[in-house]
A and B are shown apart, each in its own frame.
Chain A
Amino acid sequence: MSLSRSAPLRLAKYLRVMAIGFQNTLVYRWNFLLRVGFSFIPLMGAFFFWGAAAKGGGGEIGGYSFNAMISYFLGLMLLDLLASPTEDDYQIAAEIRDGLINQFLMKPVDYLAYRFSLFWSYRAIYAATTLVPVLAAIWYLRAYFTMPESWGVAWLCLVAVLLSATLQFLIAFTSALLAFWVLEVSAPIFIIYSFEFLAGGHVFPLDLFPPWAYRLIMLTPFPYEYWFPLGIFLGRFSPDEVARGFAMQAAWCLGVWLLARWVWARGIRRYTAVGG
């Protein structure tokens, strides 16, 4: 192995991984379709629940009309399908626990880059197959759906979604690395999820929080997973806030990436390669 290997060749390696990821997902297509089907349930719940809440608030709730709220949750569903890891964290933890990462330690493949490629191939399949039902849902609810104000906003939103996907993956990856230290990672991962959900805006838009809580939350990485791209999409931010948001989002991606590297390096030192 030489370090001077050309960049395209190195990239090709990970593209190959992506191709395998495609096949792997399609083998278990029923599992996958079920997931997609079930993901409509929270949307239905949100539709009726927030409908009733908005009615209780005289047509709006904390500056959100019912339509804006439905757009928020439709956008959230789209974001979940496009950018949220599904089983990546459990697979990573299982690979560490069962000693399957041995093969990566022996080969010139970077495990983080390998998982990142797999992540994107899952996302691509999700996006491709769910686009039709999700667009159908949006069309069905079109009376409630507000499009982004302009193409400029749409592009900004897309960038925020890509960064959000990266951040979500890195957080999932880093939490899965706990498997180096404990056998059972589900409980800590679920605790991290609960923070991501509440402080990320997965339960309700974050500006419904009191202002002091909102300012505090915006310093954590979580809002940049869901709330920031959705807020851009709905036009909830001033240009200043958008600029600051992107800076924070990029900074957190970098920060969590460095954390992942550091945790990985420490984990590998403890790692005892169970099995073969």
Chain B
Amino acid sequence: MRRYLRLAFALFRYSLAREMMFKANFLLWIVVEIAWLGLQLALVEVIFAHVTEVAGWTKYEMVMLVGTSHLVQQIFQVAFLVNLIEFPENVRTGKLDFALLQPASPQFLVSIRKYDPGSVVNCAIGVAFVAWAAWKLGLRPAPWQLGLYALMVLNGVFLHYALMLMIVTLAFWIVRAQGLVYGYYNLFNIARMPREAFRGAAKVLFTWVLPMLVVANFPAQVLARGVIGSGATWIFLLTLAFLALARVWFRFGLRFYTSASS
């Protein structure tokens, strides 16, 4: 475990050094994320110019939901996203060999070989929006609320990770799988919608099978209303189950890896 932590730290330093070689690009990616967050907030602004609530969520509760979803996504992006996005291409070109030849767990190397230090800035922006929403709502969150919020946010990060790992593992069978990455972005957009808006099969689907409605809804609710949503204990177990499943699935997929000649 300590070895992996040291490894993770070394890789982070390496990533930071590499990013600093392309400073303009580093800054541009921060702008990208701000632009997309701005887009979501514009949607909230425009909708709430016409209505007072959406599925029981008021304007600043929605800002908190969007901010929380952004925060979860950005933490995920710091550590995992780049690696998982590059994964299908590494399978196709045979570059995965390098990860398999190292004396460390392949899943570890596939998941956090590269970091995206720029997303740390965007995490801060997410936190700023959550804080702004909290201020607008006149909230005085108790320590337990903040603690549970932080736990649930982390839970969301690992849920994203497990789901994304399962999705990109399909690359062992499907050559050229950029479509998978595209699908993942589509899926993420669900996370910033109020869970109460969904009904029937779709609610079950996005809570238990593709649990996007778990990621940001639960923590935002805890912070905004001091309410622990029903099923809140389940979301932690769900994440553990997804992580276990993703691990099994990844190792199964690895058996089908045939490398590629150069």
Contacts and interface: CB of A to CB of B under 8 A. Distances in A.
B178 A52 contact: no
A28 B53 contact: no
A208 B43 CA distance: 10
Interface stretch (A3-11, A184-192, A247-255): A184-192
A52 B190 contact: no
Interface residues of B, number: 44
Contacts of B54: 49, 52-53, 56
Contacts of A210: 49
B231 interface: no
B51 A61 contact: yes
Given A198-B42, A208-B46, A31 B25 contact: no
B174 A30 contact: yes
B46 A209 contact: yes
B93 to A, nearest CB: 13
Given A48-B199, A61-B50, A197-B39, A38 B28 contact: no
Nearest to A29: B174
Contacts of A28: 175-176
Interface stretch (A39-47, A127-135, A160-168, A234-242): A39-47
Nearest to B184: A38
A185 B39 CA distance: 21
A49 B176 CA distance: 32
B35 interface: yes
Contact of A203 (B24, B39, B180): B39
Contact of B31 (A32, A44, A45, A191): A191
Interface string A200-228: 00011000111000000000000000000
Interface in B53-80: 53-55
A35 interface: yes
Contacts of A44: 190, 202
A34 interface: yes
B198 interface: yes
A41 B53 contact: no
B193 A31 contact: no
Contact of B39 (A53, A61, A194): A194
A188 to B, nearest CB: 6
The interface residues of chain B, by DSSP majority, are classed as helix
Contact of A191 (B22, B35, B51, B189): B35
Contacts of A56: 51-55
Given A45-B193, A197-B39, A204-B43, A38 B50 contact: no
A203 B43 contact: yes
A94 B70 CA distance: 30
A190 B32 CA distance: 6
B116 to A, nearest CB: 12
Interface in A28-76: 28, 30-35, 37-39, 41-42, 44-45, 47-49, 51-53, 55-57, 61-62
Contacts of B194: 49, 52
B36 interface: yes
B47 A31 contact: no
Interface string B173-188: 1111111101100110
Interface of A: 28, 30-35, 37-39, 41-42, 44-45, 47-49, 51-53, 55-57, 61-62, 87, 182-184, 187-188, 190-191, 194-195, 197-198, 203-204, 208-210
29 contacts: A28-B176, A31-B179, A32-B179, A34-B170, A34-B179, A34-B183, A35-B183, A38-B179, A38-B182, A41-B190, A42-B186, A44-B190, A48-B202, A49-B193, A51-B197, A52-B194, A56-B52, A57-B50, A62-B49, A182-B25, A183-B22, A184-B25, A187-B31, A191-B28, A191-B31, A191-B32, A194-B39, A203-B39, A203-B42
